[in-house]
Amino acid sequence: MPLSLLGIRDVSQPHHALLRNYPLVSHLRWMFETARPYLRQYIVEGDLSGAPYAEWWAAASAASFQPLQHTGRG
């Protein structure tokens, strides 16, 4: 009974299209969004840890960088 009342409320509410069209999936999504910080600290690295690319690659590309020459056309 409580789940059917929740479903009726979700389908009839005008604010969230996700709740209206996919009530069960949207409740699961918001549950996982709430639990995300707690899961991240045990499962994966933080948002700011680790480098997105190797430092040697960045140094090599910066050393070989040549700016484009303007042709004067256009």
The whole-angstrom separation of Cα 30 and Cα 44 is 20
pTM beyond 0.95: the answer is: no
Q: What is the pLDDT of residues 19-71, one digit of tens each?
A: 788 888 888 888 888 988 887 777 776 655 665 666 777 777 777 777 777 77
What phi and psi, each to the nearest 5 degrees, are found at residue 14? -95, -5
Q: Where are the alpha helices (DSSP H) in 13-73?
A: 17-21, 23-43, 55-63
13, 19 in Cβ contact below 8 A? yes
